[in-house]
Amino acid sequence: MVMTADSPGKKIEVDGLRLRYGAKEVIHGISFHVEPHEIFAIIGPAQSGKTSLLRCINRTIEFTAGTRVGGKVLVDGEDVQQVKSVYELRRRIGMVAPLPVGLPLSIYDNVAFAPRAAGVRGKDDLDGLIERCLRQAALWDEVKDRLDSLGTKLSGGQQQRLTIARALSHQPEVLCLDEFSIAIDPVTTMRIEDVLKELKNEMTIILVTNLVQQARRLASRTMFLWNGNIVEVDRNEVIFSDAPASKHTLDYVNGIFG
Amino acid sequence: MFTQTPLVRRKQRNEIIAKWIFGAMAVAMVVPLLLIIFHLVSRAWPLLSWDFLVTNPVGGMRRGGVWSAFLGTIYLVVMSLCISAPIGVLAAVYLNEYARDSWFTRIINLAVVNLAGVPSIVHALFGLGAFVIFAGMGRSILAASLTLAIMTLPVIIASTKESLAAVPVSFREACWNVGASRWQTIRRIVLPNSISGILTGVILQVSRTAGETAPIMFTGAVFFKKIPEGDLFAYNLRDQCMALSMHLYTVTTQVTNAPEALPYAIAVILLATVLFANALSISLRVYLRSRKKW
Ligand SMILES: Nc1ncnc2c1ncn2[C@@H]1O[C@H](COP(=O)(O)OP(=O)(O)OP(=O)(O)O)[C@@H](O)[C@H]1O
Ligand SMILES: [Mg+2]
């Protein structure tokens, strides 16, 4: 566990983050932190800025024209705007998008893509790494005999696990999952949830989810984001209790929000 | 169980009518092409032979073959594509993958679209002024190829951009998310998956370059030139050359008493060259499509 003097126990610290798409501000100066080795859930209705927030953390927001980011995001106390290499930053943060994306490469190459882009070449190193990532993503048994077939030809749920394996392939310190379960069945979802509980020992996990129950099952703390503002962020015992700090939280968690 | 309601019957009838109309249109497209080919070939028949292709025109262009014109066309096509394809593809990659939406890129895009619509005679005058006179190249294969390259460049940029844009953005995002740079993403994912479209777009320009007369008339093509037969390297880039399109024009308008079949035979060679290039492009496309990965 890495701790620095000014941010003890904070893997990620977000400080007054603002985000504008053109003239429209969609995140209005939010501050929170994520502790090392926890599963931190972010819940909130559509359009509340959850995906945008994740993209600010790994700075892929920069690929969208006309965005402007204010405030600070610190990873291990280091401002993401000041890091030496943005590619290195993105490798430290694994990102799993809502819709599964198998790259038009073989299954093997899908997972080897990131290590290769980072300069890993040795076949033995890659073989071991790829097996480990596919195992962690609960996909190994299904694909171990056809690693050279196309990743795009897998089923939706398999592609989502492939995406997770790819996110693990660059050995991130933080794993961000953005509604990872919307394209997959409940059984697979449960298997991945088990995986996440295991992975927590090795990394910090940020879980954006539309399923309130998923946040309740997995996370130790949960943040309720609404229209670009934090309504409440607290330990799960509080958020999912009868008396969270905000009435909105209670309504949302109980599905009577409107 | 499934009784036909009037609504269903009407739907089925419309379906059948639509099918026949669309089918008829498709046939109507093919018939003129076949008629043209049939007409040309039957008129050209007495002259068509291998010798016709590989001998120079003789006797005031009334006898002999089309060798110097055929080779000239090949030179012009290959040279101009060697110039316009790399520049066009790189420019398109920049515009589609790197450029942000700014007034600068908007102006470039506008220029590309408008240049594609400029008549070829205007390109001809530009080539005459810029390459032949100003750059001091004189009338030469080089000047003519550059002129043709300028003419095809915007079209290649446009078709390449389209092929690049057909690669889903989600692929790029997936690459960026794992820390790949833009260039790594382009080289490993975007280009391999758009190459068939890019190549097709480039090869389709063969027919355009081979068919144009205006741009080369002022910049490098001559009425008549004798070159060693059977020598593929007979032309020098500084030379002027003959070209099939121009030769056809000359024979039909300037040469009296030419055999009746001659213009048709020249047209057949020109058409065959173009169709060969198109067939190449189609088979390339089919081959690369069969390896398509999503
Ligand atoms: N590329 C973009 N350009 C302009 N506005 C955008 C863009 N992406 C997102 N937005 C806007 O930002 C706001 C937040 O969107 P975001 O996708 O972050 O929400 P979300 O919480 O992830 O929603 P969902 O639960 O539907 O995924 C929305 O109002 C959306 O319209
Ligand atoms: Mg989202």
Ligand 1 atom closest to A64 (CA): 1
Whether the pLDDT of residue B254 is over 60: the answer is yes
A65/B175 touch (CB, cutoff 8 Å), yes or no: no
Whether the pLDDT of residue B210 is over 60: the answer is yes
Domain-by-domain residue ranges, chain A?
2-99+174-253
Mean pLDDT of all residues in B73-95: 95
Q: Which residues of B touch A (CB under 8 A)?
A: 100-101, 170-181, 184, 188-189, 192-193, 293-294
Shortest Cα distance, chain B CAs vs residue A137, angstroms: 16
Residue A23 Cβ < 6 Å to ligand 1: no
Please state, in angstroms and as integers, the Cα–Cα distance from residue B95 to each residue in A50, A150, B40, B106, B205, following that order: 30, 30, 43, 10, 20
The residue behind tokens 């370059």 is B209
Which CATH superfamily includes the segment(s) A2-99+174-253?
Answer: P-loop containing nucleotide triphosphate hydrolases (3.40.50.300)
Enter the ipTM. Answer: 0.89
In chain B, the percentage of residues whose pLDDT exceeds 90 is 65
Which of B173, B177, B292, B294 is the mutation pick for testing A, counting most A CBs within 10 A? B177
What's the pLDDT score for residue A120? 87
Residue A51 Cβ < 6 Å to ligand 1: yes
Pairwise pLDDT comparison (A138 vs A206), residue with the higher score: A206
Whether the pLDDT of residue B147 is over 70: the answer is yes
- H or E segment to which residue A6 belongs: none
Q: Closest to A103 (Cβ–Cβ): which among B100, B101, B171?
A: B171
Mean pLDDT of all residues in B141-162: 95
**A130 CB within 8 Å of a chain B CB:** no
Interval A150-195: pLDDT, tens: 999 998 889 999 999 999 999 999 999 999 888 788 888 898 899 8
A113/B173 touch (CB, cutoff 8 Å), yes or no: no
Interval B19-29: pLDDT, tens: 999 999 999 98
B170/A97 touch (CB, cutoff 8 Å), yes or no: yes
The closest of B147, B151, B155, B271 to B210, measured between CA atoms, is: B271
Whether the pLDDT of residue A3 is over 90: the answer is no
Which of A87, A113, A149, A174 is the mutation pick for testing B, counting most B CBs within 10 A? A113
- H or E segment to which residue A146 belongs: none
Count Cβ atoms within 10 A of the Cβ of residue B161 and give its class: 0-12 exposed, 13-18 middle, 19 or more buried: buried
A103/B100 touch (CB, cutoff 8 Å), yes or no: no
Q: What is the mean pLDDT of chain A?
A: 90
B178/A170 touch (CB, cutoff 8 Å), yes or no: yes
H-helix segments, chain B: 6-44, 50-54, 67-93, 103-116, 120-127, 141-165, 169-177, 182-185, 195-211, 214-217, 244-253, 261-290
B290 CB neighbours in chain A (<8 A) are none
Q: How confident is the model at residue B294 (pLDDT cuts 50, 70, 90)?
A: low
Shortest Cα distance, chain B CAs vs residue A230, angstroms: 25
**Which structure tokens are listed for B183?**
């260039």
What's the pLDDT score for residue A220? 94
